[in-house]
Structure 1
Amino acid sequence: MENKELQVFTFDQIKDEFIGTKETVNRQVYEQELQLEVLGDLIKKVRLERNLTQEQLGKLIGVQRAQISKLENNTTNVTLDTILKVFGALKAKVNFNVELQNDVVQIAV
């Protein structure tokens, strides 16, 4: 029986191969969608920790329950204003990192 060594790949190498390198449009779209999905999961997690229903959170920020559901399930475009309202209502601090080529600018809101 032949002894074959397994080859190990990083997650970035796999994404480069199957989605495209970081410079490609496909990869940028993938990364952006992934970040929005993580954001939706985070909103849901914090909402549940605060013992709020989607309807209650919606009332706190002036939107319908369906809008909160869409945010949590990443089925809608979301504005920065809405994100700030949601996390404000959840009493959560929001930090943003903006990357400008090789520089990183951090903004705490």
Structure 2
Amino acid sequence: MATKVKDLEIFTFDQIKDEFIGEIGSTKRIKYEQELQLDVLGDMIKTVRLERNLTQEELGKLIGVQRAQISKLENNNSNFTVETILKVFGAMKAKVNFNVELMTNSQ
């Protein structure tokens, strides 16, 4: 529910997402959330790479791919496998944890 402050309606971020992207559980919302998570993953790859003082080319050589592939991973411009993600973080000596959350049918 929106709140009024001096004739200005204020909405929560969840309300905005519900209105413009779709409610939780809808196909459009699920796709949005998945893409958001992939963007975060790409940012994490870049952050760790920079912390390790590696160029994209150097990281690519460590896992056997071209610099362009690392760029695509960091910018979420490519489909990639869990195996690739594990190789990338493994080459940078970073531990990867995956969390799986089971949703009930009502969600």
CA shift, 1:6, in A, is: 3.5
Aligned residues: 100
Q: Distance in 1 between matches of 2:88 and 2:9?
A: 44
After TM superposition, what 4+ stretches of structure 1 lie above 6 angstroms from structure 2? none
**Alignment match, 1:4:** 6
Q: 1:22 aligns with which of 16, 21, 24?
A: 24
Looking at secondary structure, tell me which structure has more strand per residue: 1
Match of 1:107 in 2: none
Displacement of 1:65 in angstroms is: 0.7
Structure 2-normalised TM-score?
0.87
* Relative contact order, higher structure (CA 8 A, sep 6+): 2
1:5, CA displacement in angstroms?
4.5
Aligned partner of 1:78 in structure 2 is: 80
* RMSD of equivalent CA atoms: 1.4
Question: Which one-letter code corresponds to 1:66 in the other structure?
Answer: A
| 1:35-75 Cα distance to aligned partner (Å, 9 max, x none) | 10111011011101100000100111111111000000100
Residues 56-95 of structure 1 mapped to structure 2, 5 A cutoff: 56-95=58-97
Q: CA deviation at 1:97?
A: 0.7
Percent identity of equivalent pairs: 76
C-alpha deviation, 1:7, in angstroms: 3.2
Measured in 2, the distance between the counterparts of 1:98 and 1:10 equals 26
Unaligned runs of 5+ in 2: none
Residue 10 of structure 1, CA deviation: 1.9
Question: Which amino acid is 1:82 matched to?
Answer: T
